Amino acid sequence: MSAHTPRLMALARRMLRDEAEAEDVVQESFIRLWRMAPNWRSGKARLSTWMHRVALNLCYDRLRKARPVDEEAPDIADDADGPAQALHQNQLSARVHSAIQNLPPRQRAAIALCHFEEMSNIEAAEILEISVEAVESLLSRARRALKASLAAEAGAWMERMEP
């Protein structure tokens, strides 16, 4: 007992932050060892390892029991998008998809590989059989074209919405 008590106490104190609870855990660990002694088989696990595992499990049990149980479930805000937000997201997605389809094929391919397939510029360059600098140039032109296209579409949409 004297060989294992200090380390088991340190573990239990750190876990439970309560001296009395830690002492109870250590005592219960030794009681379990005493009960298991006739069945103990040397060579399966070191005694100190087993004792630490038992103490840790007892700490977990006490921590679970110590949690206050709330009889009434808390009100949780619904983070799901409402119908209007979902519709807006779908419309925006369709506009972006349409704008991408209107890009020149090489720009569209660069956007697809780097942004949707999440490839590096180096991998995209190998697939497109062009230099990394050329991929970066294609991406830059594609982003500018998409920004201009979506801005123009948003402006036209805003004009339609004004009374």
- Report residue 131's pLDDT band, with 50, 70 and 90 as the boundaries: very high
* Element counts in the chain: helices (H) and strands (E): 7, 0
Q: Domain residues of the chain, as ranges?
A: 5-66, 102-161
Q: Provide the pLDDT for residue 47.
A: 75
* pLDDT value, residue 116: 79
- Fold for 102-161, please state it: Arc Repressor Mutant, subunit A (1.10.10)
Which amino acid is residue 42, in one-letter code?
Answer: S
Provide the 3-class DSSP secondary structure of residue 13. Answer: helix
Mean pLDDT along residues 139-149: 93
Please write the tens of the pLDDT for every residue from 2-59: 888 898 888 888 888 889 999 999 999 899 888 887 777 777 767 777 788 788 888 8
Span 133-140, average pLDDT: 96
pLDDT in the model for residue 69:
56
What percent of the chain shows pLDDT beyond 90?
A: 20
Does the domain at 5-66 match CATH 1.10.1740.10? Answer given as yes
pLDDT at 78 over 80: no
Taking residue 29's Cβ as centre, other Cβ atoms within 10 Å add up to 25
**Under 8 Å CB-to-CB from 130, ≥6 apart: which residues?**
138
d(CA 26, CA 4): 9
Mean pLDDT of all residues belonging to the chain? 83
Task: Tell which wins on pLDDT, 82 or 90.
Answer: 90
Exposed/middle/buried for 138, CB within 10 Å: 0-12, 13-18, 19+? buried
pLDDT of residue 145: 93
